[in-house]
Structure 1
Amino acid sequence: MFLMMGLMYFVVDLAAILLLSACWQRTRIRGFAIVAASYGAGIVARWTAPLAYRWADSGDGGMGSLAGVVVQTAFFLVAVVAVVGFWDIYRVLKQRPAA
Protein backbone atom coordinates (compact mmCIF):
# COMPACT_ATOMS: atom_id res chain seq x y z
CA MET A 1 0.00 0.00 0.00
CA PHE A 2 2.76 2.48 0.96
CA LEU A 3 4.69 1.72 -2.21
CA MET A 4 1.58 2.40 -4.29
CA MET A 5 0.99 5.73 -2.51
CA GLY A 6 4.63 6.66 -3.04
CA LEU A 7 4.29 5.82 -6.72
CA MET A 8 1.11 7.91 -7.02
CA TYR A 9 2.83 10.89 -5.36
CA PHE A 10 5.74 10.44 -7.77
CA VAL A 11 3.43 10.42 -10.81
CA VAL A 12 1.55 13.53 -9.65
CA ASP A 13 4.80 15.36 -8.85
CA LEU A 14 6.26 14.36 -12.21
CA ALA A 15 3.14 15.65 -13.98
CA ALA A 16 3.47 18.94 -12.09
CA ILE A 17 7.13 19.18 -13.11
CA LEU A 18 6.23 18.58 -16.76
CA LEU A 19 3.43 21.17 -16.71
CA LEU A 20 5.60 23.75 -14.96
CA SER A 21 8.40 23.11 -17.44
CA ALA A 22 5.98 23.59 -20.33
CA CYS A 23 4.80 26.88 -18.78
CA TRP A 24 8.41 27.98 -18.40
CA GLN A 25 9.18 27.14 -22.04
CA ARG A 26 6.14 29.08 -23.20
CA THR A 27 6.53 32.16 -21.01
CA ARG A 28 10.24 32.16 -20.07
CA ILE A 29 9.25 33.19 -16.55
CA ARG A 30 12.03 31.78 -14.40
CA GLY A 31 9.65 31.20 -11.46
CA PHE A 32 8.04 28.26 -13.25
CA ALA A 33 11.43 26.53 -13.48
CA ILE A 34 12.11 27.29 -9.80
CA VAL A 35 8.79 25.78 -8.70
CA ALA A 36 9.48 22.75 -10.92
CA ALA A 37 12.86 22.39 -9.19
CA SER A 38 11.14 22.48 -5.81
CA TYR A 39 8.86 19.65 -6.93
CA GLY A 40 11.94 17.68 -7.99
CA ALA A 41 13.59 18.35 -4.65
CA GLY A 42 10.36 17.27 -2.95
CA ILE A 43 10.51 13.95 -4.79
CA VAL A 44 14.08 13.42 -3.62
CA ALA A 45 13.24 14.46 -0.06
CA ARG A 46 10.17 12.22 0.11
CA TRP A 47 12.13 9.18 -1.06
CA THR A 48 15.21 9.82 1.09
CA ALA A 49 13.49 10.79 4.36
CA PRO A 50 12.79 7.18 5.38
CA LEU A 51 16.43 6.36 4.73
CA ALA A 52 17.50 9.16 7.07
CA TYR A 53 15.24 7.81 9.80
CA ARG A 54 16.55 4.27 9.30
CA TRP A 55 20.13 5.51 9.43
CA ALA A 56 19.42 7.40 12.65
CA ASP A 57 17.69 4.41 14.28
CA SER A 58 20.59 2.08 13.48
CA GLY A 59 22.97 4.13 15.63
CA ASP A 60 23.10 5.05 19.30
CA GLY A 61 19.47 6.05 19.53
CA GLY A 62 20.21 9.71 20.18
CA MET A 63 20.24 10.51 16.48
CA GLY A 64 16.51 9.96 15.98
CA SER A 65 15.50 13.46 17.00
CA LEU A 66 18.35 14.97 14.98
CA ALA A 67 17.16 13.07 11.89
CA GLY A 68 13.67 14.50 12.43
CA VAL A 69 15.05 18.02 12.57
CA VAL A 70 17.14 17.46 9.44
CA VAL A 71 14.23 15.96 7.48
CA GLN A 72 11.81 18.70 8.55
CA THR A 73 14.39 21.35 7.67
CA ALA A 74 14.79 19.79 4.22
CA PHE A 75 11.03 19.86 3.64
CA PHE A 76 10.93 23.48 4.86
CA LEU A 77 13.70 24.47 2.43
CA VAL A 78 11.83 22.80 -0.44
CA ALA A 79 8.76 24.88 0.47
CA VAL A 80 10.88 28.05 0.61
CA VAL A 81 12.20 27.33 -2.91
CA ALA A 82 8.61 26.98 -4.14
CA VAL A 83 7.62 30.30 -2.54
CA VAL A 84 10.60 32.01 -4.20
CA GLY A 85 9.40 30.63 -7.54
CA PHE A 86 5.85 31.81 -6.99
CA TRP A 87 7.14 35.24 -5.94
CA ASP A 88 9.11 35.46 -9.20
CA ILE A 89 6.02 34.51 -11.21
CA TYR A 90 3.95 37.13 -9.38
CA ARG A 91 6.60 39.80 -9.86
CA VAL A 92 6.85 39.19 -13.60
CA LEU A 93 3.10 38.98 -14.16
CA LYS A 94 2.56 42.16 -12.15
CA GLN A 95 4.89 44.05 -14.50
CA ARG A 96 3.23 42.82 -17.70
CA PRO A 97 0.21 44.71 -19.00
CA ALA A 98 -3.11 42.85 -18.88
CA ALA A 99 -4.18 41.37 -22.20
Structure 2
Amino acid sequence: MRRIDAIVISIGIFGAGGLLYLVLQVVGIDSTNAGIWTQAILVGGLFIWLLTYLFRVTNSDMTYNQQLKDYEEAVLQKRLEEMTPEELAKLQAEVEQEKLDKRKKQE
Protein backbone atom coordinates (compact mmCIF):
# COMPACT_ATOMS: atom_id res chain seq x y z
CA MET A 1 0.00 0.00 0.00
CA ARG A 2 1.29 3.40 -0.89
CA ARG A 3 1.47 6.28 1.57
CA ILE A 4 -1.24 8.23 -0.27
CA ASP A 5 -3.56 5.21 -0.02
CA ALA A 6 -3.11 5.12 3.76
CA ILE A 7 -3.81 8.87 3.96
CA VAL A 8 -6.97 8.59 1.85
CA ILE A 9 -8.23 5.63 3.90
CA SER A 10 -7.56 7.54 7.14
CA ILE A 11 -9.42 10.61 5.88
CA GLY A 12 -12.28 8.37 4.71
CA ILE A 13 -12.61 6.72 8.12
CA PHE A 14 -12.48 10.13 9.82
CA GLY A 15 -15.20 11.38 7.46
CA ALA A 16 -17.31 8.27 8.03
CA GLY A 17 -17.09 8.87 11.78
CA GLY A 18 -18.24 12.46 11.36
CA LEU A 19 -21.06 11.40 9.05
CA LEU A 20 -22.15 8.68 11.50
CA TYR A 21 -22.16 11.27 14.30
CA LEU A 22 -24.38 13.59 12.25
CA VAL A 23 -26.73 10.75 11.26
CA LEU A 24 -27.13 9.72 14.89
CA GLN A 25 -27.94 13.31 15.85
CA VAL A 26 -30.50 13.59 13.04
CA VAL A 27 -32.12 10.35 14.23
CA GLY A 28 -32.67 12.02 17.59
CA ILE A 29 -29.79 10.93 19.78
CA ASP A 30 -28.29 13.76 21.83
CA SER A 31 -24.74 14.86 20.98
CA THR A 32 -23.06 13.17 23.95
CA ASN A 33 -24.59 9.77 23.24
CA ALA A 34 -24.06 10.20 19.50
CA GLY A 35 -20.36 10.80 20.17
CA ILE A 36 -20.13 7.78 22.44
CA TRP A 37 -21.89 5.51 19.92
CA THR A 38 -19.76 6.84 17.07
CA GLN A 39 -16.57 6.13 19.00
CA ALA A 40 -17.82 2.69 20.02
CA ILE A 41 -18.63 1.76 16.42
CA LEU A 42 -15.28 3.05 15.10
CA VAL A 43 -13.32 1.25 17.84
CA GLY A 44 -15.34 -1.92 17.18
CA GLY A 45 -14.51 -1.66 13.47
CA LEU A 46 -10.84 -1.16 14.29
CA PHE A 47 -10.90 -4.20 16.57
CA ILE A 48 -12.51 -6.36 13.87
CA TRP A 49 -9.92 -5.17 11.32
CA LEU A 50 -7.14 -6.01 13.82
CA LEU A 51 -8.53 -9.53 14.28
CA THR A 52 -8.66 -10.12 10.51
CA TYR A 53 -5.09 -8.81 10.21
CA LEU A 54 -3.84 -11.14 12.94
CA PHE A 55 -5.69 -14.04 11.30
CA ARG A 56 -3.95 -13.32 7.97
CA VAL A 57 -0.57 -13.04 9.69
CA THR A 58 -0.93 -16.35 11.53
CA ASN A 59 -2.05 -18.10 8.33
CA SER A 60 0.78 -16.53 6.27
CA ASP A 61 -1.83 -15.06 3.95
CA MET A 62 -0.13 -11.70 3.56
CA THR A 63 0.59 -9.97 0.25
CA TYR A 64 4.36 -10.42 0.62
CA ASN A 65 4.02 -14.16 1.24
CA GLN A 66 1.78 -14.54 -1.81
CA GLN A 67 4.18 -12.54 -4.00
CA LEU A 68 7.11 -14.65 -2.80
CA LYS A 69 5.22 -17.87 -3.52
CA ASP A 70 4.25 -16.66 -7.01
CA TYR A 71 7.86 -15.67 -7.71
CA GLU A 72 9.22 -19.04 -6.58
CA GLU A 73 6.68 -20.87 -8.75
CA ALA A 74 7.58 -18.70 -11.76
CA VAL A 75 11.30 -19.38 -11.27
CA LEU A 76 10.72 -23.13 -10.99
CA GLN A 77 8.47 -23.08 -14.06
CA LYS A 78 11.12 -21.21 -16.05
CA ARG A 79 13.80 -23.69 -14.97
CA LEU A 80 11.58 -26.62 -15.99
CA GLU A 81 10.98 -25.04 -19.40
CA GLU A 82 14.72 -24.62 -19.94
CA MET A 83 15.54 -28.25 -19.11
CA THR A 84 16.30 -30.73 -21.85
CA PRO A 85 14.19 -33.90 -22.15
CA GLU A 86 17.08 -35.93 -20.70
CA GLU A 87 17.32 -33.64 -17.67
CA LEU A 88 13.55 -33.84 -17.18
CA ALA A 89 13.68 -37.65 -17.30
CA LYS A 90 16.53 -37.68 -14.78
CA LEU A 91 14.63 -35.32 -12.47
CA GLN A 92 11.50 -37.43 -12.74
CA ALA A 93 13.47 -40.57 -11.88
CA GLU A 94 14.93 -38.84 -8.81
CA VAL A 95 11.48 -37.76 -7.66
CA GLU A 96 10.12 -41.28 -8.09
CA GLN A 97 13.07 -42.69 -6.15
CA GLU A 98 12.47 -40.23 -3.30
CA LYS A 99 8.80 -41.25 -3.20
CA LEU A 100 9.77 -44.91 -2.97
CA ASP A 101 12.31 -44.19 -0.23
CA LYS A 102 9.72 -42.23 1.73
CA ARG A 103 7.20 -45.09 1.47
CA LYS A 104 9.79 -47.60 2.65
CA LYS A 105 10.60 -45.47 5.70
CA GLN A 106 6.91 -45.22 6.61
CA GLU A 107 6.44 -48.98 6.51
- Same fold (TM > 0.5): no
Who wins on radius of gyration, i.e. which is larger?
A: 2
Give TM class, smaller chain: 0.3 to 0.5
Greater RCO (Cα-Cα under 8 Å, separation 6 or more): 1
- TM-score scaled by length of structure 2: 0.34
